[in-house]
């Protein structure tokens, strides 16, 4: 049987663009890169790259993220495909967006510097090129939905954290203040935190107990259909 001939079909470029969120124990941040080529040279952009013939989209996104952060095993979700004909003035390009969550303390600072990248507080992020602001808005909306249904925030925290840090993270994601007692009570009711004997002494003389995320308990609850409503 003869193979199909696609020579007469239009060829378009396919890119992946990554919205990388991080948390520095106080506020939610986004990692942006300053473009060093035209179009829009010198302006701020999401980190991205083009799909290679031997890759699927997820592998391409992992490659792009590793190139910028030096990290593997990053929490990542595919978001949306952008296909406006004139979205990229250089050539006909479709883009599939992903968002990723990382602990800022773990990334490779030297790689960030080499790639002319910079962390910005989400509330102070500059205007981005093309339709990248639209991508960020969609990623924030997805992140908020995820945070209201499961403890996705643990991807942004260190292995050991205080309840204050956990609450600050959720306040940053949701964009609002949360009642301390209600928040602690709600999270304790999930039974997915391990209270340690250690304390963080940096915030006060008395110190604050440190916690860890019990991943095994969480996985079992997910398999049982538990809804982590914050």
The CATH code of the domain that includes 157 is 1.10.10.10
42-51, 69-78, 100-109, 114-123: which range is least confident on average? 100-109
pLDDT for 5 equals 84
Burial class (CB in 10 A: 0-12, 13-18, 19+), 174: middle
- Which of the listed residues 82, 116, 147 is the one where a domain comes to its end? 147
- Average pLDDT on 175-197 reads 92
For the chain, what is the domain count?
Answer: 2
Q: Which residues contact 128 (CB under 8 A, 6 or more apart)?
A: 32, 43, 44, 45, 46, 136
Statement to judge: residues 199 and 169 lie in one domain: yes
Question: Residue 162: what pLDDT?
Answer: 93
Helical packing angle, 180-190 and 163-174, nearest 10°: 100
pLDDT at 116: 86
Q: What is the mean pLDDT of residues 134-139?
A: 97
Tell me if 83 sits within 8 A of 131, measured CB to CB.
no
Specify the range with the lowest mean pLDDT, choosing from 26-30, 215-219, 224-228: 224-228
Measured between its terminal Cα atoms, the distance across the chain in Å is 57
What is the tens place of the pLDDT at every residue in 161-172?
Answer: 999 999 999 999
Q: Is 142 contained in some domain?
A: yes
pLDDT band at residue 31 using 50, 70 and 90 as cut-offs? very high
The domain boundary residue, chosen from 147, 179, 201: 147
What is the model's pLDDT at position 107? 74
Is the model's pTM score more than 0.75? yes
Predicted confidence band at 77 (pLDDT cuts at 50, 70, 90)? Answer: very high
On whether both 63 and 85 belong to a single domain, the answer is yes
Cα radius of gyration (the chain) = 20
Is 99 a residue whose pLDDT tops 80? yes
Look at residues 112, 132, 147 and tell me which one is the last residue of a structural domain: 147
Report pLDDT for 6.
87
> Picking from 20-24, 210-214, 215-219, 224-228, which range would have the lowest pLDDT averaged per residue?
224-228
pLDDT bin (cut points 50, 70, 90) of residue 155 is confident
Do residues 116 and 135 share a domain? Answer: yes
Q: Looking at the structure, do residues 80 and 165 belong to the same domain, yes or no? A: no
Instruction: Give me the pLDDT at residue 2, please.
Output: 66
């Amino acid at each position: 049987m003869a193979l199909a001939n696609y020579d007469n079909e239009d060829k378009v470029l396919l890119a992946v663009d990554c919205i990388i969120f991080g948390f520095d124990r106080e506020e939610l941040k986004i990692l942006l890169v300053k473009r060093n080529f035209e179009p829009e040279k010198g302006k701020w952009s999401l980190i991205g790259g083009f799909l290679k013939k031997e890759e699927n989209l997820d592998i391409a996104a992992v490659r792009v993220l590793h190139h910028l952060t030096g990290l593997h095993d990053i929490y990542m979700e595919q978001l949306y495909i952008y296909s406006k004909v004139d979205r990229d003035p250089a050539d006909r390009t479709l883009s599939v967006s992903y968002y990723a969550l990382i602990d800022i303390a773990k990334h490779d600072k030297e790689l960030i510097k080499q790639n002319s990248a910079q962390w910005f507080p989400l509330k102070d992020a500059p205007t981005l090129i093309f339709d990248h602001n639209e991508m960020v808005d969609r990623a924030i909306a997805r992140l908020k939905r995820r945070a209201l249904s499961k403890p996705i925030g643990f991807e942004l925290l260190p292995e050991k954290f205080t309840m204050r840090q956990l609450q600050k993270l959720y306040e940053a994601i949701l964009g609002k203040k949360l009642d301390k007692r209600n928040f602690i009570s709600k999270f304790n009711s999930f039974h997915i935190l391990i209270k340690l004997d250690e304390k963080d002494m940096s915030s006060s003389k008395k110190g604050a107990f440190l916690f860890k995320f019990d991943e095994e308990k969480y996985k079992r609850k997910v398999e049982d259909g538990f809804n982590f409503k914050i």
